[in-house]
Structures are given as C-alpha cells and as structure tokens.
Structure 1
C-alpha cells in the first residue's frame, strides 16, 4: 500500500511582506521541520515514511541531523536525497524532526548538471499547448538574448498573476489553468513560468525549498532554467532571476511539484488514506550581511509639481560585477500618489553595464497655500534608497493620455473559443474606449471606461469555427484603431492528451505601449502594427 503526500508549500504573499532580495551577503539559516504522523486509529503491520532531505550546491552548504531513530538515505532519479524512516506501527502519533544548518551565498552559484528530456515536455502540472507558446512568444517579442527572454517571462508572470490562496494547500492547479485565470500560489507561479520557458525551447525544472521574507519563514517553490550549458535559478513569485537572495534554501527538484512528494507506505489490513501527515517549520536567519552588487541613482522632479499631475521617476542602475545579473526593482509611493506603471521591474544587466528604468505616477489633489513633501522608496538587489520631490497646488500640471494592451490570452473549451484582453490606463486622464472582437462573421462589441492607473480584463467568447479563420480584437480610442490579430488554424490542429481542449493559434507580437505615433497598415495574413500613440497636454 502506498500513499503520495504532496509536499505542502507555504507560499508568501509579497504584497503583505518585505521584499527579501535585500539579503545578498552570505547568510546562515537554522531550521527545523517536524513531520507529524497520526494513524487515527488505524493498525498497520508496518509503516515507512520517505521525506526529502537537503543537499549541497555551489550556493549552499548543508549540515543536516535528526534526533529520530535510524534512517536510510538514498538518491532518487532527480538527484534528491530521500530519507526513509521505519515508523512504529503501534504508536498512534509520531513526529520526525529534521534539523538543518545552511550557509548560503548565491553569488557563488554555478549550476552544474545535465538536461533531462522531461524538462522540455509537458508534465502533470506543466501543460505545453499552443496558447502557452503564443503567450511566451508575445512576451519575448524580438528579443534574442536567452537571458533577457527569461527575465521577460519571469517579470510577466510576477506582474500578471495575482497571488491568491492560503498557501498551505494540497490543491494545485496546472499551468494552463493559471494562465487562463491569472491567479495562483508560488507553486502555480512556478509551474506557469516553467511552461512558458519550455514552450520556447528553454529547459526548466521545479525547485522546492525554504525562503525568508524579512518577517517569517516558509516552504516555497521556484525554478531553474538551462542556458548556455548551465542551470540558473529563477523565482517568479519574488521577481528574482540569475542571482537569488540568500534566504533561498534548496531541498528538492523535479519536473514539477508532483516529483517532490513525501511518500508514506504501509502493509497490513488498514486504510492508509485515514493516516494524516502534516509538517511544521521553524527557522531563523543568522549571521547575514547586506551589500549591494549594483549602484542606483534615483531622479525625481526637480521642481514642485501640481495636483493631479503626470510625473516620471527614474532609476539608473549599474552592475558592479564581472558577470551578468538581474536585479528586481520595487518602488513604493506615498499614500495618495497613484502608480501608473508596474511597481516591480526585473532588470537584466550585463557585466558593468547600466540601464535606466522609469515609473509614471499621478500626484494627488493638494490644498492651496501648502507645500507637500513626498518620499519615494526603491528596493533593489542588496539594498534600498529614498528620494524626494515637492508638491504645490499652484505648480504646473502635466496631463497624459495613454493605455497599454497586454498580449491576448486565447483558449478553447468544449464549445467556445475564448479571448481575454487586459487593458491598463497608463495616463493621467479617464479613458473611454470601444472594443470590437471579430472572428469570421462573429462580432462582439464592448464600451469601456478606465480611471487613471486602473486595469481591466475583458472576456470574449466565440463559437468555434469549422475551418481556418482570421480574427482580430480592435480597440478604438480617439477615433484610432489598435488591432490585435490572431489566426485560428483548424486543419493543422494536432492534440496530445494535455492539449485536448486547445486550438493552435498563430502567434504575433501583441504588446502595445502607446506613444504619439500613427498606426500601420494590414497585409495579407500578417498585420504590421507600426503605431503607438500617446496624447500629451501640458497646462499651467
């Protein structure tokens, strides 16, 4: 009799926690994981528990002990350490304690190891289908550098999937479901990222371990990708890549979370499903130090700004290392100030190179005869900085109209082809838009109104056509059409069991950042989008 018990991953909601990527200096983690077994009245003849231990990597050195009866240690097909404990079949409640001391330094990371063919294929929770491939190709656009591709995929998952769930759960949704519903926990963030990476030919695997957010510890999930004959860590939940913060402690790896399950087996006349296994984690961060691997210079408005004014914050970041890195940047703004850009940005930096990142904000309504002081905080890899600007209701006001269309999500159920359009108001004015969704002879219309800084998702559902069809989603703003095109190829549909409810879609680059340009023309079967529009008005 065998029972697979899913490793419970308590994933942290970063919207309610400090960003952990300030811990870059070498750190020491002391942790205890207790596994609690309750037979609940069952009387097996024998009972065996297999749990994952921790192992050494180039970034972590592990000292592992247990106070429980002797165990045997084996290595599974993924290179994981499995610890097998022979439990007492007559003792109703038992506890196995695993103690570790981990010394962590991801600046020393070198990802050795080969590539299992399964790391490029569909698996239990990682579903490869045309919708996933189309989304990945839209995200990376014309980028050719493999590191930059991974940075774009990581950042997209982090910024477009909403963290939702209690974390401690055995309910895990697959990557296709997460892509369609745009919600999930750390394991689901990771499964979607892995699916996107594999769909563009980058091998990717699932990692389970521990992490710290500045306030608490938990079991956590992230990924590794194989680029240029080396594995690199990626954490889409925390928006980190290439170099992780030194609170990540690796425990096990596999094709997805189904490969890192604890296993309980037994013999005798009893119901194994009635036996429960739970785990508790207690950990501390010891002897850690902070130092920055990058230099950051923040630029804010140098003159007082007016009420409801569109303003830009800039951060110039420089890589001080002789190796390529990616640094997460997270901006926090004062109450009342509206952030018009994603707060989190993941920046790829080749050795010793610099890049300037911008955030757009909308100032609040201010009172006359008051001078306001606003503080901006920017967290980055290894540190944070503050910057300031002043507000005055009598100062000049900048207004900007603009919006952004994210890549279309296209998926099929039993009877319908479904589109999800995500629209963000990136300007300082309320926008009134019209959308027209067209597939063959089918037309769907929608009127939208978006407040500054807001985002909305619009869903369109078509009857599945019987033959190949060209489709488009037309967004109309100020008399100008912005067209996102797609092509449904029914004849070339090839399905695997994981793709049973999917229709291949011809990928196109569908991201719009609207600047004041004129839209392009449409050619046969391919639509060359040349326009980005942004209307700017300055008044005093």
Structure 2
C-alpha cells in the first residue's frame, strides 16, 4: 500500500462579508416592481369621493427607464398619472385595494465629475430649496460645526462631498433599532446618537452637505442587499454639481458618487416625505383606517452584459517569508484612467488577522494613481518544520479582483507591528503642497524585481495638459532631470541607479506644483527557492510511498535540478512561480535519519546557485545490517 505524504499545509483565511455587490458589474438590469396597499372606511356616513395619491412612482432619468406599467384597483377606480399617480373612487365600500406594476430597466452609469470649485457661486432659485433645513433633514449648529471640522479647508466640490460621506460611513453605525425602524429621526438626533437606519443616515448626509451650500435631495426607493439576498426599501441621496448635474450617493452602502444598478428610484424630495396621501369627501362620521402596510416587491427578470473593470489595480506584499506572529503590510494600487473625479470602494474579501476595517472608500482625482495599505497579523500557533501560506484578496465596486500570498515559517525573520507601520509611513504619500490637474506623473520599474548586483531601472512619463510648465525637476532619490514642457505634451525618462532599498520616491515639482509618487522596486539579494516542508516524521522499512513536493521562487529561474537523497534527480528547464511533482520510492532507500534535498539552479544571467534542505526522518524496522552501514556512513 502506498502512503501519501502531505507536503504543503495551506492556511485557509477567513472570507470577509460584503454588504452588497452581486450585480455591480452588469451594464443594466430589468427589474419587476410591484406595489400593493389598501385603506378601509370606518364609522358611518356617506362617501362622495376617496383619492389615494401614490408618490412611490418611478420616473425616467439617466439611470432608469420604465418600459412597462400597469395599475389595478378593487373596486375599480379612475386612475390619473398627471402630477403623480392618483386612484379616485366614487363608490362606497369597506375596503379599497390598489396596486401598481412596473418593469424598469436600470443602467450602470459611471458619473465622471469634472473639476468644480468649492464653495459654489450663488445658484438659481431652482436649487435653493435643496439647500434649506427641513423637518427631518434639519441643519443645526452642531451639524454645521461637525461638517466644518470634516471638510476643513477643502476647495474642491467632489472631495468636499466625499469627505462628508466617508466620515458618516465610518462613524455612524447602521442599526435597526426598534426606536428608529418605524419612525424616521431627525438628522441632529442621528449625529448625537451616532446610529440610524438607511434613511436616517442619508438624512444626516444631506443635512451636512446642505450646511455648506451644496444642494442635495432625498431618494426613496428599493435596492438589493445580499445580507438577506433580496430587495428592500432603501433611502439614498443625490448631490448637485453645477454644470454637470445630479450625482447619486448611497452612504449606507459605501457607494459615493455612484450606485449599483439594483437601485430603483421611486420618489425624489426635499425631505423625508409620505409615500401615500389620502383625501376624501364625506358626510357623517366617516374616517379612514390607513394602518394597512404598503407592500413593495422587486425582482430581477433580466441581466445585461458584464462591464470590464473601471480601474487598473494591483496588490503586493511589502514583506514575505516571515516568522509566525509577524505583521505584514500590503499595498494596493488603484489608477483612475479618466480625466475626471471618481471614487471606489476597496474591500478585503480574504485575509489573515486584520487590524482595521476591511473596507476603504477612495476618492480619485483625474488620472490619479493612489496607493492604500493594510497591515495583517500572521498566525502564531504553528509547528516547526512546516511552510505555511495564506492569501490576501480584494475586490472593488466595479469587478476588479486581485490577490497575493504570504509565506511564513518558524525560523524566518519576525516583523513587528512597529516595523510594519514604519514601512507604511515611509511609502504613504502626503497630500501635495500644491496640486495641479495640468500635469500627470507615472513611474514604474522595468521589471518587478532587481538583484542587488544590478542597477535599478525606472521608466517615468510626464504629461502636461493645457498649460506650459517651465523649470520642472524630476528626481528619483538623488538622481534628477531638469526640463521645460509645452502644453499638451509628453516626455519620457529612464533612471538607472544602485539601490539596496525596496522603495524610492519620485518628486516632480517647480515653483507652482509638487507631485510625489512612491515606487516599489523589489530588491532581492539572490534568488531563492522555497521548498515546502514534508509532513512526515517516520515510515516503515520496505514500503512504497509517494512524496509530493512543491517548489516556488519569486524570480524566474532556469536549469533547476533537485536531488532527494540518492534518487535520480528531477530537472526543470525553467521555474516561474511554483511547480509540483512527486517522488515515488520504496522506503528501504530512505534508511538514514535525514531526508536530504539539494537544489542547483541559475538566474536569468547564468549565475549558478546551490541550496540544501534537510528534514529528520525515522525509518522503522530497519534490518540489522543497515545500522552498521549508517554507522560507517556517518
């Protein structure tokens, strides 16, 4: 019988939950929407006329189109659609039921907001009503003070609104408290108590945005959430940008400047308002019982095409092959390909121990490439003589999904939390002292790694837009280039220098602007092959066994030869990433107290390296003569 020896122990990391996102990457959806409600007459008297005004009525806009509509009522009524949907009865009975059915095509719209200064100039009267304090969406001194604290000296409208939305998403807890689930609380109450449901969180967002002179309105509707795999009643906001238009913000979902296509807008208003209003004309003591609930149901009937990811993204670990219990910083890059303001939500979906939230909402300036960081805690409770791996995976709102792996084992270098934080601090880009949308800088290493014995090579590209730029200097470390640039031009530079550090900062500046970019180079002392430990401590003599082995390298290698004890070697012409293979042997040839592996390989320049690996092994029931043979071998 063959014994299979497990060679690689994989650490399965947890999966983080995502509030919603199953339909984010579809170009459009077709959604069936049904509303049902009823009202009853109570008391005595004669009814002349009863009217139900329904305000939960989807309208066509840039994000949705009503492609089918139907209404019904019991008893029959006259139905009017001008000025809102109205059911009118002139017949008297006990119960009145009415329903609306709609098929809505929603579109996944990317809102590319241009450069807009803040504060706004005076706006027309059309927008003045969306900047006022209301009954629920109130504006108090406390709201004004907190908003001023959040936005500080920001002079860009998009970034101002983003700061407000991000602060609320991070600091106001979504909580279906019994006090607030049935009755919508004022914005000032939500700020004071620091929790609320979706409509209350949205109300606070609108109050804060209005408090600094930016128009915003409340949207009542429905949206899908995979917390219960269904549609539910929902509230979000729209913010007005002069010269561009209204842009959606769903602070509860962390969607700032964009909403997923499961959102159906049913009512747009200045304040949180009633969904249905009843009016009646009667004589006697007749009144209405409106306690019957409004039932709304939505379901997806058709899916559009999958859209490609909006942003270019990447992920890299700043340390690898670490000791158990280490703290490993991970860098995620995201690049905005548009000459407009956008935002994204980076969500960690798989990772070892996290020290902070698994989500970060990122505003992106035109053509900006941004770096964000997380630090993860590697498990401590591991056994010696094993190689462990764990993975870090993220996704964004628009379907980009990337991952990387971290290897750890007893005997590797330990990275403390303080050291990890220092690495992140060294790479974090400060806000530019003077930022201009008239110039763009992008720098990338020619390859993902460099050996210590070779020169680092970095390619940089500088692009101008409408303005002439004179007296520019571009420096990588101590190496600099001085130059001028005409409007709408592009220049490329290649920097070569020696370095034993993994990062270098590029600084582009003149007397008016300063742009900084951190570049990760991946400096490697020499190529190294990782051999996963063999999960075996003893075998019986003269037994057929299989030994699966996995080897891996961060750099491409060639002419790889692995020899296990005195068996025939395994050879690979090249090793890129990892390779797995199996030794099938009889244990009578594993008679020593160690399993010895020898590796020989070359780097891309033809330099030859050797590497040895050993593991203790007990072979039971050895014949008596093998003990003498091993004695003489030692």
Scaled to the shorter chain, the TM-score interval is 0.5 to 0.7
User: CA 1:22/1:96 → structure 2, altered by over 3 Å: closer, same or farther?
Assistant: closer
Within a 5 Å distance, the mapping from 1:128-527 to structure 2 comes to 128-165=139-176, 169-214=181-226, 215-229=229-243, 230-258=245-273, 260-268=274-282, 269-273=285-289, 275-284=291-300, 286-291=302-307, 292-334=309-351, 337-369=352-384, 370-383=386-399, 384-400=401-417
Match of 2:54 among 51, 54, 57: 51
Assess, with a 3 A threshold, how the Cα gap between structure 1 residues 128 and 108 changes in structure 2: closer, same or farther. Answer: closer
CA RMSD of aligned residues (A): 3.2
* 1:231/1:108 CA distance change after superposition, 3 Å: closer
Residue 70 of structure 1: CA displacement? 4.3
Counterpart-to-counterpart distance in 1, 2:196 and 2:356:
22
| Structure 2 match to 1:83 | 85
Task: Tell me, yes or no, if the aligned pair for 2:248 and 2:256 is still in contact at 8 Å.
Answer: yes
Q: CA deviation at 1:191?
A: 0.6
Determine whether 1:94 maps to 2:97: yes
Gaps of 5+ in 2: 1-15, 115-122, 426-634
Matched residue SS, 1:58: coil
Using structure 2 for the length normalisation, give the TM-score. Answer: 0.55
- Shift of residue 51 of structure 1? 1.1
Task: Specify which structure has the bigger relative contact order, considering alpha-carbon pairs within 8 angstroms and separated by 6 or more residues.
Answer: 1
Change (3 A) 1:398 1:242: same
| Contact map agreement 1:55 1:62 (CA 8 A) in 2 | yes
Give the TM-score, by structure 1 length.
0.64
How far did residue 350 of structure 1 move? 2.9
Kindly indicate whether the alpha-carbon contact (under 8 Å) linking 1:31 and 1:99 is maintained by their aligned counterparts in 2: yes
CA contact (8 A) 1:66 1:98 kept: yes
Task: Sort the Cα spacing of 1:274 and 1:251 in 2 relative to 1 into closer, same or farther, 3 A.
Answer: closer
Distance in 1, matches of 2:324 and 2:92, equals 71
Report the CA distance shift for 1:108/1:64 in structure 2 as closer, same or farther (over 3 A). Answer: farther
Deviation beyond 6 Å, 4+ runs, structure 1: 108-114
> 1:235, CA displacement in angstroms?
1.0
- What is the rounded CA distance, in whole Å, between the counterparts of 2:106 and 2:39 in structure 1? 33
1: CA distance, partners of 2:111 / 2:159: 21
Deviation at 1:164, TM superposition (A): 0.8
Output one character per residue of 1:17-36: Cα deviation in whole Å (capped at 9) or x when no partner.
55328624421232222222
Q: Provide structure 1 residue ranges, at least 5 long, that are not aligned to the other structure.
A: 1-14, 76-81, 405-425, 428-540
Displacement of 1:217? 1.3
Which one has the largest radius of gyration? 2
Shift of 1:61: 1.8
Going from structure 1 to structure 2, the CA distance change for 1:110 and 1:392 (only over 3 Å counts) comes to: closer
Q: Identify if the C-alpha distance between structure 1 residues 18 and 375 changes in structure 2 by more than 3 Å, giving closer, same or farther.
A: farther
